[in-house]
Amino acid sequence: MVLGRIAITGAAGTIGTAVRRALRSEAELLLLTDRVPLRAEAPNEEVRPADLSDPAAVEAALAGADAVLHLGGIPDEAPLAALLTANVLGTHHVLEAARRLGIGRVVLASSNRAAGFYPAGHLTSPREPVRPDGLYGVSKAALEALGSLYADKFGLSVLCLRIGTFAPAPVEPRDLATWLSPRDAVGFVRAALTAPARPGFATAYAVSANTRRFWELPDRDVLDYVPVDDAEVHSADVPGAELPTDPTAPQAGPYARPEFTLRHLG
């Protein structure tokens, strides 16, 4: 085992499920929390139900962890009030629990959509200003800001992963740039959890080694993982893959359209 006691919020989600299965053989203990039902599937798994809106429940769920992987929250566009509660306030409760409990490393699941309005022809660095493509992107930009605050003000070690399109394989043309394979997702998470826990904050794009990608891969001194999969090997199975990408169009694709957000504005 190379991992200690890892708490995973949002453990019932798509990424949480994949990461949990991959890491259980390496972890001393997985503390799994979500607001939906979960059950332990191995002797080194412990289920601790919690709603991220309840700070006391969050602190109880994270107690005893060496590191936290925070995946919980609303994963797509929604009314701002709901996103603020789940994604922003929930993240605040996770970081505050980590501060109070003295947890050495917090990994926050951010999103590429915190910067989705950069043009497709621009190789985007996480060091550039955020350009959210919608209300969901705004909530993830706020999540990153909270992580930065807790690192600077309280000395936490916080690493944000701007997650790409997580799926077994790409299914549409945009995915050929944004795909994050399950194997690479686990690799990025493992590297983030095991990186030396020193005070500070960093953001890195978690994306496979796609030939058409929009985003910089992490510097090795930030995150010691090199992705291995390339969406291009699936391009023959993606309708429209042969069509050229407009380099001036937003990287977010359809998520940048006004109608994607207007339906959530009442």
208 torsion bin: left (phi>0), alpha (psi -120 to 50), beta (else): beta
Bridge-based pairing of strands 27-33 and 105-111 is unpaired
Q: How far apart are CA 177 and CA 214, in angstroms?
A: 6
Q: How far apart are CA 125 and CA 217, in angstroms?
A: 8
Q: How far apart are CA 239 and CA 105, in angstroms?
A: 41
Q: Is 45 helix (H, G, I), strand (E, B) or coil?
A: strand
What lies within 8 Å, CB to CB, of 104 at 6+ separation is 66, 67, 157, 197
Handedness of CA 152, 155, 156, 161 (dihedral sign): positive
Give the catalytic positions in this structure: 136
